[in-house]
Structure 1
Amino acid sequence: MAKSEKESMFDYDESSIKSLDWREHIRLRPGMYIGKLGDGSSKDDGIYVLVKEVIDNCIDEHMMGFGKVIDVTITESKVTVRDYGRGIPLGKVVDVVSKINTGAKYDSGAFQKSVGLNGVGTKAVNALSSYFKVQAYREGATKLAEFKKGVLTSDPKQTKTDEKNGTYVEFEPDNTMFKHYHFIPEYLDDLMWNYAFLNAGLTINYNGQKFYSKDGLLDLLKQKTNPEELRYPIISFKGNDIEFALTHGNQYGEEYYSFVNGQNTTQGGTHLAAFREGIVRGVRDFFKKDFDASDIRASVIGAIAVRVQEPVFESQTKTKLGSLTMAPEGAAVKTFVGDYVAKELEIYLHKNPTVADAMQKRIMQSERERKEIAGIKKLANERAKKANLHNRKLRDCRYHFDEKNPKGVDSQIFITEGDSASGSITKSRDVESQAVFSLRGKPLNCFGLSKKVVYENEEFNLLQHALNIEDGLEGLRYNKVIIATDADVDGMHIRLLLMTFFLQFFPDLVKAGHVFILETPLFRVRNKKETIYCYSEEEKQAAIKKIGGKPEITRFKGLGEISPDEFGGFIGEDIRLQPVLLHKDSHLQRILEFYMGKNTQDRQEFIIGNLRVEMDKVDKNNVEDPEVLEDQEA
């Protein structure tokens, strides 16, 4: 007789207690070690964490004074990393990649102020790889070990070698864990550049390209900014265990890049909070005026890097610093960073009156803009607060990105157009982590308009409140902001208008990698036995060939045409997202001016010059009249 659910609940005895080995635990709970798995569309997806964990060990060697070159090769499915440091001690080659709580980072004499501290990183890479290889070279001897999903498959033996000292690691992420994964080149480029900026004198050879920086964070901001848009030259300082750079641009919002021991803390932490406060204090002390903090920091572009012994991060992925002190000195991070930034900034402004004048003009401009929209902003916020009590545009989710709950890391919001599209997503979404914001039609083209329009336009105001980005990204409620529009001309237009809104008023949201485009299937190819969803013409042709015969082919033009049952498969585990990326050489204002400005003739010539004619439906051999063929080609 089957037990009832209530009876089963009380079947708790010794047999209920399970012990997993290190490999099983990592594969069962990968989120504890590398954050989310993901498919590579987001820069914090697991495959990038795997790459970082291996390179971090090479960086730690460099920081200790061993090895000035790192060779990295990344293909579609394989990663290889070779450093020229001391090399793993040969007797421990297997242990350091397969035994939890085994490593050199516990010995502060061997590694100081390193990123990795818990002896977990390479073990996670090993366990989550379908193939993993590690080879150490030390003083003319070498040892190699190979693994599959964390299981040792080779017999490690020590042999002689002529290779230079160092360590070689090769791995292939397990595609049963990282489904449909792909590396995005721009994310990897950013990763390599960050390593170079934070380690002056280090050379990283990545896929045939050299990454090298002489001036650290100054070089970083030079790459991230355009000289034409800056109010004054970039200010930079470097001291013991701290480096920072800053300037004012013309964009709305604040933009920061923060690092701890070479780790990009994308969610900031105590050091970033202190940096922002230090900027305000330094400016107020120099000008002897109590400027509003928001006016001082408006349009700031800054970078901060600190070195902390035994840093405390808020997760294994190390995206937010939780340390309160600069051990072993005992100085509070907040005090140390804030005092250093304020003091150096004040001294610099005394020595550079031209920069001080330019900074003051930018601050006063922000002050005027803030006061101009103060009235309408207050009214708009009151309307938004009332709307939030019953906001028909927003179907919210349970967990959010700005909350302490780890489930908030997966939070997403779909921005859709029309009731039918939002209805399909709302019925098929995961209410725990997926929200929906519905537009009533095409939003306003806001290029060239001031931020006043964000408060005057009810839809824009409700959207910024739903995202909680009015005062910066610290309160961002969703990790992924997903534009979900129809696959037609109107849908593409809405997509452009929304991207213009974000790039015009909240560019840091895009630059931080939070904005995505939802890819939905264009075709459904099926017979009585099988259904295949296709995202391109090539996939459609492959599906027709696979199914054979005369399958039923459906062309989806609008999201509302896809039933909720079908839609659930497109926004769940197999969701396809295209990140909105800005190339490092992109000039943001020029891009917006060209595509969304009034330069109609230039844009028309560009479109005509780049038209692509699809001839797959035109059989030239069966067209007798040349004029008809010309009309069809046109």
Structure 2
Amino acid sequence: MTNNTTKTVQYDEDSIRSLDWREHIRLRPGMYIGKLGDGSAADDGIYVLLKEVVDNCIDEHVMGHGKNIDIKVTDHRVEIRDYGRGIPLGKVVEVVSKINTGGKYDSGAFQKSVGLNGVGTKAVNALSSYFKVQSYREGRSVWAEFAQGILKNTGEETTTERNGTLVCFEPDDSVFKNFHYIPQFLENMIWNYCYLNAGLTITFNRQKYVSQNGLLDLLRNKTDEDALRYPIIHLKGQDLEIALTHGNQYGEEYYSFVNGQYTTQGGTHLAALREAVVKTVREHFGKDYDASDVRASIIAAVSIRVQEPVFESQTKTKLGSINMAPDADAPSVRSFVLDFVKERLDDFLHMNPTVRDALKKRIEQSERERKELAGIKKLANERAKKANLHNRKLRDCRLHLTDQKGEDQLETTLFITEGDSASGSITKSRNVQTQAVFSLRGKPLNCFGLTKKVVYENEEFNLLQHALDIEDGLDSLRYNRIVIATDADVDGMHIRLLMLTFFLQFFPDLVRNGHLYILETPLFRVRNPKNHKETVYCYSEDEKQKAINKLTKSGKKVEITRFKGLGEISPDEFGLFIGENMRLEPVIMEKETSIPKLLSYFMGKNTPDRQRFIIDNLRIEKDVEDVALV
């Protein structure tokens, strides 16, 4: 007999708890560092921890103290040393362990800095299994060591070290499970710091990073200059710097910063730039161009410095609506950017007629392309709207990225799978709250060299575009992670390449913003045939050998299964690989990557370079057997 009696929970004075600073940070880490993650996404918490410490070093540099920062990162440990003024020796412990304590409240000591709330290093301290801070000032040094925010040791000594601050920490693996740092994400972060602080030298794992030309260097490194429609326009004033150009790619590409902070979600300064460019171009040419035609294929960067910036979260990824300074008479960020662009960009175009003509030609080309697509888009969208009512390709989830923001929305994932068997396994084992599945029918079209017209003419591409809702840009993207899930065989790899080509060709900003991943699934299952609780899933030959050694150590026999396709993995097992411990490989755009050259090499006609690569790396069956025996 079922007991339906509801247990009454007592609610009285004993139910009310007060948490100290470290307890609150560890209980609600998302409030301080955003999502946790394992390091496979650039905005995962382990990168935010590193950034919070470096931000303090940058603030010292901006105030004129220290031109060098040293960063060392291993798999699980971070060490950061600046050469600024050093934390006042009597406050070393308080600065990293007492909430709302810091030097940023004194506007005379720090102006236009990133960290304003005295929270960053406290969050790093509380979320680290080991944390050490050491300050060097005028021949003396004070240090303190913590574990999960709890003070363990302190000390004071004389020193010959230069003034500055050293911070070492190891993220707590009970909070950040199975985490690892990806060097490309760290390099991108470090380059951004250098672009925004011309002359600053950052040494990362013995490699020096330095920029002398600010945002001009950023765009040079992010683009193939030979493919640009005109040389990069670089406009620099007090508290505002802008670089922009137009390429040949689809979409809009922006990099926005506030007080040296990379605002990945933009904000008022980026919205103002987008508005200002359109307004200035219209007035300069005396034509009412469509805003989408002016901004099509634009590549731009904006950096602004303001006093007391207001961000929409502690992770500072989006700037709110504020004035340039606390003074009520100070201009708003929007009006400041609008006035700057209207004056400087208009003057530049008058003084550079060649650039002016190239810009006009690019806009008019975009206008023609948009009008040519208009009829096709209308028919395709009507077809997709009908299909969406009963879209057999999409098994949707309940939550979407466009819903009210929260940690669950960041977990929203669309798996792109090949065939019904793989789709069936994922569909049965997925989390219906946050995980959706889009099933491909065989191999998709190789769209290299084709125009965006094919996105509307090809039913599968059109339905995928609508499932993601990215026709007009990423603002309406419905899933935070798009995961390509294909078999680990030749056909699976080919499908993976074809899908990468689709996204890089038509939606490169989706890749640049870190939304595209490859799903890693186990190649082998090694288990005790008599006790299935002793099962190890292996993602490589090396892991398989370690599992065999582990299980056979006590004389047991092992059963080895090779998974050739996703459809061979049962739904119950598949649930283990797309849950909390899901292994995702992010698709990362290197700073020097040229998308047209990349696609031409891998997906174009059989070029001599690719032929040479295949011949030089060809392995015959005997070679493979010899390697396996070593």
- The alignment's TM-score, normalised by the length of structure 1, stands at 0.94
> For the residues of structure 1 that align with 2:437 and 2:322, how far apart are their CA atoms?
38
> For the residues of structure 1 that align with 2:184 and 2:568, how far apart are their CA atoms?
34
Residue 48 of structure 1: CA displacement?
0.5
Quote the residue 2:577 is aligned against: 570
1:557 paired residue among 529, 554, 564: 564
What SS does structure 2 have at the residue aligned with 1:157? strand
CA contact (8 A) 2:222 2:593 kept: no
1:73-101: CA deviation from partner (whole Å, max 9, x where unpaired): 11112111111111111111011111111
> For the residues of structure 2 that align with 1:387 and 1:570, how far apart are their CA atoms?
31
Quote the residue 2:434 is aligned against: 433
What SS does structure 1 have at the residue aligned with 2:142? strand
Residue 513 of structure 1: CA displacement?
1.4
Residue 431 of structure 1: CA displacement?
2.0
Residue 4 of structure 1: CA displacement?
6.4
What SS does structure 2 have at the residue aligned with 1:39? coil
> For the residues of structure 2 that align with 1:71 and 1:235, how far apart are their CA atoms?
32
Stretches of structure 1 that go unaligned for 5 or more consecutive residues are 623-634
Quote the residue 1:417 is aligned against: 418
Quote the residue 1:514 is aligned against: 515
Q: Which amino acid aligns with 2:174?
A: T
Moved more, 242-251 or 610-619: 610-619
Q: Quick one: percent identity of the two aligned structures?
A: 70
Query: Within the alignment, does 1:531 sit opposite 2:530 as a pair?
Result: no
Which 4+ residue blocks in structure 1 deviate beyond 3 angstroms?
2-5, 600-605, 612-622
Stretches of structure 2 that go unaligned for 5 or more consecutive residues are none
> For the residues of structure 2 that align with 1:362 and 1:519, how far apart are their CA atoms?
41
Quote the residue 2:57 is aligned against: 58
Query: Within the alignment, does 1:292 sit opposite 2:290 as a pair?
Result: yes
Quote the residue 1:599 is aligned against: 606
Residue 614 of structure 1: CA displacement?
6.1
CA contact (8 A) 1:90 1:158 kept: no
1:81-126: CA deviation from partner (whole Å, max 9, x where unpaired): 1111111111110111111111112222221111111111111111
Quote the residue 1:344 is aligned against: 344
Quote the residue 2:83 is aligned against: 84
Q: Which amino acid aligns with 1:317?
A: T
> For the residues of structure 1 that align with 2:461 and 2:119, how far apart are their CA atoms?
44
Moved more, 431-440 or 91-100: 431-440
Query: Within the alignment, does 1:546 sit opposite 2:550 as a pair?
Result: yes
Residue 324 of structure 1: CA displacement?
2.9
1:523-549: CA deviation from partner (whole Å, max 9, x where unpaired): 100013300000011111111111113
> For the residues of structure 1 that align with 2:453 and 2:628, how far apart are their CA atoms?
59
Quote the residue 1:181 is aligned against: 179
Query: Within the alignment, does 1:109 sit opposite 2:113 as a pair?
Result: no
- Cα–Cα, structure 1 residues 357 and 95, in superposed 2: closer, same or farther, change >3 Å? same
- Cα–Cα, structure 1 residues 341 and 524, in superposed 2: closer, same or farther, change >3 Å? same
Quote the residue 1:453 is aligned against: 454
Moved more, 63-72 or 494-503: 63-72
- Cα–Cα, structure 1 residues 161 and 605, in superposed 2: closer, same or farther, change >3 Å? closer
- Cα–Cα, structure 1 residues 5 and 22, in superposed 2: closer, same or farther, change >3 Å? farther
CA contact (8 A) 1:40 1:182 kept: yes
Q: Which amino acid aligns with 2:475?
A: E
CA contact (8 A) 2:393 2:440 kept: yes
CA contact (8 A) 2:520 2:584 kept: yes
What SS does structure 1 have at the residue aligned with 2:6? helix
2:262 paired residue among 254, 257, 264: 264
Residue 613 of structure 1: CA displacement?
4.7
What SS does structure 1 have at the residue aligned with 2:414? strand
1:221-260 alignment to 2 at 5 Å? 221-260=219-258
> For the residues of structure 1 that align with 2:411 and 2:399, how far apart are their CA atoms?
9
Query: Within the alignment, does 1:582 sit opposite 2:589 as a pair?
Result: yes
> For the residues of structure 1 that align with 2:627 and 2:106, how far apart are their CA atoms?
74
> For the residues of structure 2 that align with 1:619 and 1:95, how far apart are their CA atoms?
61
- Cα–Cα, structure 1 residues 621 and 292, in superposed 2: closer, same or farther, change >3 Å? closer
Quote the residue 2:353 is aligned against: 353
Q: CA RMSD in A?
A: 1.9
Moved more, 391-400 or 48-57: 391-400
> For the residues of structure 2 that align with 1:57 and 1:136, how far apart are their CA atoms?
13
- Cα–Cα, structure 1 residues 386 and 338, in superposed 2: closer, same or farther, change >3 Å? farther
> For the residues of structure 2 that align with 1:203 and 1:195, how far apart are their CA atoms?
10
- Cα–Cα, structure 1 residues 486 and 110, in superposed 2: closer, same or farther, change >3 Å? same
Q: Which amino acid aligns with 1:562?
A: I
Q: Which amino acid aligns with 2:305?
A: R
What SS does structure 2 have at the residue aligned with 1:153? strand
Residue 619 of structure 1: CA displacement?
7.5
Quote the residue 1:399 is aligned against: 399
> For the residues of structure 1 that align with 2:219 and 2:460, how far apart are their CA atoms?
34
Residue 602 of structure 1: CA displacement?
4.8
Quote the residue 1:625 is aligned against: none
Residue 66 of structure 1: CA displacement?
1.1
> For the residues of structure 2 that align with 1:449 and 1:88, how far apart are their CA atoms?
57
Quote the residue 2:366 is aligned against: 366
CA contact (8 A) 2:223 2:593 kept: no
Residue 621 of structure 1: CA displacement?
14
Query: Within the alignment, does 1:462 sit opposite 2:460 as a pair?
Result: no
> For the residues of structure 1 that align with 2:423 and 2:218, how far apart are their CA atoms?
40
Residue 515 of structure 1: CA displacement?
0.8
Aligned length: 619
Q: Which amino acid aligns with 2:149?
A: G
> For the residues of structure 2 that align with 1:602 and 1:211, how far apart are their CA atoms?
31
- The alignment's TM-score, normalised by the length of structure 2, stands at 0.95
What SS does structure 1 have at the residue aligned with 2:85? coil
> For the residues of structure 2 that align with 1:621 and 1:614, how far apart are their CA atoms?
11
Quote the residue 1:629 is aligned against: none
> For the residues of structure 2 that align with 1:547 and 1:386, how far apart are their CA atoms?
54
> For the residues of structure 2 that align with 1:605 and 1:351, how far apart are their CA atoms?
47
> For the residues of structure 2 that align with 1:400 and 1:258, how far apart are their CA atoms?
25
- Cα–Cα, structure 1 residues 621 and 490, in superposed 2: closer, same or farther, change >3 Å? closer
